[in-house]
Structure 1
Amino acid sequence: MATQLVELLILAGARVKRKSANARTGQEVQFLRSLIDIFMAAPEKFHGAALDEFDGLVCALCANADPETRQAIGARLAHSADAPRRVLKQLARDDISIAESILRLSPNLKDDDICAIIRARGIAHHRAIANRFDLSYAVSEALLALNNEVITISLLKNQRAHFRPHVLEALVDQSRKLTSLQAPLVNRFDLSPALLTRLYFYVPAALKSQILNRSDHLEPALIDEAIQINRASLFHPGQDKEHLRHSVYQRSIQGHLTEVQLRALISERKIDEFIFAFAYLAGLDEDAVKTILNDSRFEALAIACRASEIHRDLFSRLVFGVLLEGRDKAKALRILDLYLKVPPDAAKKLMRLWRLRSKAVQNANQTIILDAKATATRRSDKRQTA
């Protein structure tokens, strides 16, 4: 049967080649459509030499077919996981009205095929690729390399586009100036808690609210686990300043680690010990606290203090007694006003994300879903795949 199919396809191919390159008859169009019907009805019969002959024959017929026919053929082959690649690549480079369905849907286009099309074609093809059902790291990065704002936004809006962590981090940093990227980034399911908290400090109020609302979907047990992991990370033996860590640990197990103790550490200029103690009380890791203290606008510190129910007086001592020591204190009233303007509920929501951002927590929880919609989308994808 396979041999007969190959022979028939060879004979058909020879007939097509004898035709003039400009010939376009109704019979040829019908023949092409019939070939596709036969293939779609039993693609498993086309393999090896038979698939190669079929692929070459359809390519030859499509090259001489009218746009409407090519569009119809492309739309049918786009859904097939068995569609031959030569004709797919040929149609994918065609006019966008013909190529779009294949670029967006075909599971049989390989990354190399798609990247070659990105290099060869223009923005219409790029936009269709950016909206593919599934995009690998390589394809996403090839699209980003175009440095086209419209394509980057389309790509970020595609929840099934995959990005390496360092690429997302670069996009978050870029969005500080290119503000059109901020909303698509905030709405991505795969944006880590660390990147969401970074975004929080320079997006407008409406997007700040969206970030805070996403923390509502986090399970309380996950936050409790994160606090425990962060606190445990503070007391790993053999690390630098182990004597300071031991001091904080002893106070914590004796119940002496309080806001009063934090005030005393500030007064005694024991800043390293204060960092460990503050991290323990807030349920953060050491790196997170250092990031908070390095925020020159003090918004992060105001949020951390409000979320941890640390009084304004301690916030003031820390800012003006340590962080602004010897520097211009003209911003004093504005900074104190900042503390009062931070809603405690909003601060607690953002602190959930801060607690999840540490490397220790990320290692313990490889996938942290930050939006209920993400769960629904993934379940839908699994059902469609099944």
Structure 2
Amino acid sequence: MANAEPFELSEPVTTRTRAVLAKRLADIVGLPSSRITPRERWIVGDLLFDVIRASDIDLRKRCAKRLSGLTDAPHRLLRTLACDEFEVAEPILADCLALSDFDMMEIARVGKLQHRLALANRENLSATVSASLAAAGETPVIERLLRNKTCVLAMPTVDHLVGMAAEEGNLAHLLIKREELRPTQAFRLFWTCEHMARAQILERFAVDRTILIDASEDIFPMAAAEDWSDPMVTRILRYIDRRQRNREAAELSPYGSLEGTLEAMAMDGALPEIVTEISTLANVDRRLVLQMVDDMAGEAIAVLCKATGLKWPSFENFWRGLGRSLTSEPVPQARKVYDSLSVEKAQTVLRYWNLSMEDKGGK
């Protein structure tokens, strides 16, 4: 199996006779299937391959342009021309329908940035080719892929791009528009975004759980009768449950309630024991509360407050406890999020975050 390789010609020479021969061979390669058998096309393609390998760039450009309109052409010939200098390769990369997924993956591997940018513009790219283009991690190529509404992105590719968005912030607003983006990915992406992108994620993916709650109402007493012995059932029902707060823990809390804990935080700051108490009373992983503490914006804290039924003054106590001013820009942005979400939708977001923390393991 011959791979595509860039041209390495030291003294390419094209005589008039060679130019005419190349044109004739290209014409034969382009004949319809009714005029030429596959074996004949392969043989002529091999001959043309030898000619263009030893010819100058003008002849290679003419051959590439002639072959770009074909729907059936020898793949080694196409791959070789498509990996040539970009001015040679461009018509094949842009228009040639004869390129297979394998061809495009090979071109993505050995070609240059311009080649991958051209491939990323093609219509109806498969998930396999998109993954190959994204794998190099080149931001211009990825941006072009994300803007290409006809390409398909596989779930692992989207996962990879969501991870990249932490370092390449301009990818986030493009990812949010992709239909392939799933809630788990969107809520992970949330932490890398600015306010407007965060608001878009919440608007699109914060949904209530009414159907789930109604469908599983009778399962809660069944699980309780089994003493919650099935960890997987417990995990899923904790996501579905209407209640967010840990009522039993509130009875034992030295602060009396979640509201009381946040009042103490406003006075004493985000002490480790207060963070732990917020985690316990809100029934979320302590690492999630720490992530909210470290986040310089306020939307995530607003989600926590709304999901646990806290009034807005509790957000203000949380914010003061972090040593931040109530007149700072994040506060009105957080208020918009708080006011836009129902309790059920806020719980959906909070529980997705919490499940992701549990999936990471550890404490």
Instruction: State TM-score, norm by structure 1.
Output: 0.58
SS in 2 for 1:300: helix
Distance 1:128 1:337, change over 3 A: closer
CA distance in 2, matches of 1:120, 1:344: 50
Distance 1:302 1:292, change over 3 A: farther
Q: Does 1:189 align with 2:172?
A: no
- Correspondent of 1:268 among 251, 273, 276: 251
- Which residue number corresponds to residue 229 of structure 2? 238
CA contact (8 A) 2:302 2:335 kept: no
- Correspondent of 2:41 among 32, 36, 51: 51
Task: Give per-residue Cα distances to partners, 1:48-72, cap 9 Å, x unaligned.
Answer: 4223223224434555472552242
Deviation at 1:104, TM superposition (A): 4.0
Deviation at 1:123, TM superposition (A): 1.3
Give the AA of the match of 2:349: W
Q: Does 1:347 align with 2:341?
A: yes
Task: Give per-residue Cα distances to partners, 1:179-217, cap 9 Å, x unaligned.
Answer: 13222222222111122122233312332343345459x
Ranges in structure 1 where 5+ consecutive residues have no aligned partner: 1-19, 275-287, 361-386
Give the AA of the match of 1:296: M
Task: Give per-residue Cα distances to partners, 1:6-62, cap 9 Å, x unaligned.
Answer: xxxxxxxxxxxxxx973334743652464255x2xx325544422322322443455
Give the AA of the match of 2:28: L
CA contact (8 A) 1:118 1:125 kept: yes
Distance 1:289 1:45, change over 3 A: farther
Distance 1:345 1:108, change over 3 A: farther
- Which residue number corresponds to residue 292 of structure 2? 296
Distance 1:97 1:231, change over 3 A: farther
- Correspondent of 2:106 among 96, 100, 116: 116
Q: Does 1:70 align with 2:63?
A: yes
Ranges in structure 2 where 5+ consecutive residues have no aligned partner: 1-11, 258-282, 356-363
CA distance in 1, matches of 2:85, 2:77: 14
Distance 1:330 1:111, change over 3 A: closer
- Which residue number corresponds to residue 280 of structure 2? none
- Which residue number corresponds to residue 309 of structure 2? 310
- Residues 52-201 of structure 1 correspond to what in structure 2 (within 5 A)? 52-60=42-50, 62-63=52-53, 64=55, 66-77=59-70, 80=71, 82-201=72-191
Give the number of equivalent residue pairs.
300
Task: Give per-residue Cα distances to partners, 1:216-272, cap 9 Å, x unaligned.
Answer: 9x8x9xx644555787897766324989999999xx8xxxx779xx584452148xx
SS in 2 for 1:83: coil
- Which residue number corresponds to residue 274 of structure 2? none
Distance 1:315 1:263, change over 3 A: farther
- Which residue number corresponds to residue 11 of structure 1? none
CA RMSD of aligned residues (A): 5.0
Distance 1:200 1:301, change over 3 A: same
Distance 1:21 1:333, change over 3 A: closer
Deviation at 1:141, TM superposition (A): 4.2
Q: Does 1:35 align with 2:25?
A: no
CA distance in 2, matches of 1:54, 1:353: 62
CA distance in 1, matches of 2:92, 2:109: 17
Task: Give per-residue Cα distances to partners, 1:292-335, cap 9 Å, x unaligned.
Answer: 656433743522543x5824179569x97xxx9xxx94548759
Distance 1:90 1:231, change over 3 A: farther
Task: Give per-residue Cα distances to partners, 1:130-184, cap 9 Å, x unaligned.
Answer: 3333445554444344343322322333344444434433432332232132222
- Which residue number corresponds to residue 6 of structure 1? none
CA distance in 2, matches of 1:247, 1:214: 23
CA contact (8 A) 2:159 2:185 kept: yes
CA contact (8 A) 2:304 2:350 kept: no
More divergent stretch after superposition (48-57 vs 331-340): 331-340
SS in 2 for 1:43: coil
Give the AA of the match of 1:24: R
SS in 2 for 1:102: helix
CA distance in 2, matches of 1:241, 1:315: 33
Give the AA of the match of 2:122: R
CA contact (8 A) 1:212 1:346 kept: no
Distance 1:232 1:355, change over 3 A: farther
CA contact (8 A) 2:175 2:181 kept: yes
- Which residue number corresponds to residue 16 of structure 2? 24
